[in-house]
Structure formats: structure tokens, C-alpha cells
């Protein structure tokens, strides 16, 4: 093989390797960007123990269920960030579970195209443990017309919460669905209007976990948290227009 052939082969191979990072379990051109922007370039490891459970493809790109589970690092978790790498609005949530709340969160999101999904778990030693998964999609979930706004009387239902507490072996699972359009500003003529803050509190108002949400979260957000003990909890929510909502579980 002469020099020109080698060069040609190298050029052919180049688009396949592109910007991906060694050890990355998913092929991504965006890791470096998000690492710098969301994790401030801090030390990290790709870590299979941070589980990102999702379907292999998005049947409904407006409601993609994801489950981030960092139970392997229970007791050591400071923060969990999640993002959809190729979304126009990449960030999904920023979750800080306190001692009584498990480092595990299920939520539904919108995706605009097939994309890697990441969950970065900051442990007390200052290392980000990054779990990764990939989802295929026909896409369009972020720019699809609002389903909520097409329903008559949605304003009256704003902030209504459906929920239930499920007893598990050594914890309780709190599952809720909050009526909210979660407008992400990408649909013509409708500005951003979404739930951006949540706290889980105990019966005395003590904060058990804080959660920041981003408008990649689906309309009528479905959330699931796990908390230790039997005590009553309250979920507090606020949207970017200042509306506050509360639910007891």
C-alpha cells in the first residue's frame, strides 16, 4: 500500500472516530462540550454502575421514560446531572438527594433526535461518575405542538398533582404526575413556561432533596423518587412564572 492509499484510508476512517473520547460506551461528538459546560471540565470516569435505563428507541419522542439509578453510590452522592447530548435543550435535571432520599430518579423527557443520554453523579470525593445510554428516535419531540394546550380547560388543571406512595422493601417510592405544559420556547409563539424547581420535604418542612428541572422534561411531568422511612412527605414545585404547587405523599 502506498502513501496515498494510506492517506485515503485514513480520511475514510476519520469521520467514524471524529471527536469521541476513549472509553466512552456510546459514540458521541458532544461529550467534550458538555463535560466542559456542565461539569466544568472536572475529573470524571465513565461508570457502568451509574445505570441509565431507557428503551432502545423512542416510541413517543415527546414522552421518553428514563430512569437514573446511582444506588451503587448510596450515601456518597452529592449531585446527579442528566442530559440528552444532542437535544436543543440538553439538560434534564440537577438532583441533590439528601441522606434520606435514594440517588435514583425516574422522569419522562422529550428528545429531538437519536441521542446519547448521560447521567453524571458527583460523589463526595469530587469525581463525576458518568453513566451513559443511547436512544434511537424518529425525533421531533422538542418541537411538536403542545398536547396540553390543545386540551380545553388546561389552565384550570395547572399544577394539579396525581400521585401515589408505594411501599418497597426498605423504602417508599413516590410517583407523581403534575399537570403543566412545560413549554420549552421551541414551539412557535409560545414562550418558555415550565416547572424549574422542586423540593421534597418531610412533615416538619425539612428539605430532603432538591431538584432543578429543565424544559427538556415532558409535558405533564411524571416523576418518581424513593425515600426512606414511613413519614409523610411534601413535594413543593415552582415554575418559571412563579406559580407554586404543593402535594402531600
Partner 1 sequence: MRWILVLALLGCALVARADFDYGLQPRQIADGVWLLEGSTDNFAQNNGGNIVNSGFIVTAQGVLVIDSGPSKRYGEALRRAIATVTDKPVLTLWLTHHHPDHVLGNQAFADVPIAALAATTALLAEQGEAMAENMYRLVGDWMRGTEVVLPTQTLSPGLLDVAGRRLRLLGLRGHTGADLAILDETSGVLFAGDLLFYQRALTTPGTPGLDVWLRDLEQLQALPWKQIVPGHGPVASSAAPFTQMRDYLGWLDSVMREGAAQGAEMSELIGVAIPPRFAAVSLSRYELIRSVSHLYPRYEQAQMERVDR
Region near partner 1 per CB under 8 A, out of 26-34, 56-64, 119-127, 198-206: 56-64
* Rounded-to-integer distance, Cα 11 and Cα 53, Å: 36
Region near partner 1 per CB under 8 A, out of 54-62, 73-81, 87-95, 188-196: 54-62
Q: Which is nearer to partner 1, 19 or 57 (CB)?
A: 57
Q: Which is nearer to partner 1, 88 or 159 (CB)?
A: 159
Binding to partner 1 by residue 143, rule CB under 8 A? Answer: no
Per the listing, cell 422538542 goes with 142
Taking the complex as a whole, the smallest distance from the CB of residue 240 to partner 1 amounts, in Å, to: 19
Binding to partner 1 by residue 8, rule CB under 8 A? Answer: yes
Binding to partner 1 by residue 57, rule CB under 8 A? Answer: yes
Q: Find the angle CA(115)-CA(117)-CA(123) to the nearest 5 degrees.
A: 160
Q: Which is nearer to partner 1, 39 or 106 (CB)?
A: 106
Taking the complex as a whole, the smallest distance from the CB of residue 25 to partner 1 amounts, in Å, to: 18
Residue 168 CB-density burial (10 A; 0-12 exposed, 13-18 middle, 19+ buried): exposed
Nearest to 92 by CA among 127, 70, 64, 122: 64
Taking the complex as a whole, the smallest distance from the CB of residue 212 to partner 1 amounts, in Å, to: 21
Q: Which is nearer to partner 1, 43 or 205 (CB)?
A: 205
Binding to partner 1 by residue 66, rule CB under 8 A? Answer: yes
Nearest to 160 by CA among 214, 232, 94, 221: 221
Size of the chain in residues:
249
Q: Select the residue interacting with partner 1 from 72, 134, 163, 186 (CB under 8 A).
A: 163
Taking the complex as a whole, the smallest distance from the CB of residue 138 to partner 1 amounts, in Å, to: 5
What DSSP string describes 22-91? TT-SS--SSHHHHHHHHSTT--EEE-TTSEEE--SEESSTTSEEEEEE-GGGTTTEEEEEEEETTSSS-E
Distances (CA, A) of 159 to 54, 176, 214, 238: 27, 11, 17, 9
Q: Which is nearer to partner 1, 79 or 175 (CB)?
A: 175
Sign of CA dihedral 16, 18, 24, 30: negative
Residues engaged in binding partner 1 (CB under 8 A): 2, 4-5, 8-9, 53-57, 59-60, 63, 65-67, 106, 108, 138, 159-164, 166, 168, 173, 175-177, 222, 224, 245-249
Amino acid at each position: 500500500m502506498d502513501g496515498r492509499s494510506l492517506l485515503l484510508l485514513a480520511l475514510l476512517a476519520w469521520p467514524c472516530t471524529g471527536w469521541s473520547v476513549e472509553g466512552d460506551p456510546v459514540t458521541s461528538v458532544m461529550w467534550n462540550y458538555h463535560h466542559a459546560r456542565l461539569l466544568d471540565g472536572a475529573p470524571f470516569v465513565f461508570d457502568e454502575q451509574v445505570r441509565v435505563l431507557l428503551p432502545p428507541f423512542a416510541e413517543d419522542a415527546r414522552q421518553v421514560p428514563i430512569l437514573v439509578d446511582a444506588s451503587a453510590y448510596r450515601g456518597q452522592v452529592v449531585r446527579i446531572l442528566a442530559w440528552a447530548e444532542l437535544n436543543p435543550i440538553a439538560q434534564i435535571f440537577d438532583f441533590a438527594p439528601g441522606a434520606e432520599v435514594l440517588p435514583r430518579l425516574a422522569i419522562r423527557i422529550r428528545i429531538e433526535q437519536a441521542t446519547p443520554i448521560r447521567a453524571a453523579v458527583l460523589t463526595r470525593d469530587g469525581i463525576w461518575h458518568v453513566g451513559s445510554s443511547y436512544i434511537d428516535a424518529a425525533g421531533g419531540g422538542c418541537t411538536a405542538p403542545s398536547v396540553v394546550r390543545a386540551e380545553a380547560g388546561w389552565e384550570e388543571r395547572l399544577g394539579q398533582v396525581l400521585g401515589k406512595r408505594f411501599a418497597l422493601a426498605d423504602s417508599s417510592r413516590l410517583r407523581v404526575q403534575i399537570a403543566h405544559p412545560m413549554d420549552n420556547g421551541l414551539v412557535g409563539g409560545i414562550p418558555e413556561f415550565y416547572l424549574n424547581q422542586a423540593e421534597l420535604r418531610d412533615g416538619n418542612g425539612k428539605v430532603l432533596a432538591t431538584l432543578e428541572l429543565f424544559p427538556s422534561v415532558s409535558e405533564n411531568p411524571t416523576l418518581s423518587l424513593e425515600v426512606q422511612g414511613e413519614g409523610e412527605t411534601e413535594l413543593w414545585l415552582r415554575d418559571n412564572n412563579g406559580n407554586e404547587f404543593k402535594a402531600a405523599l
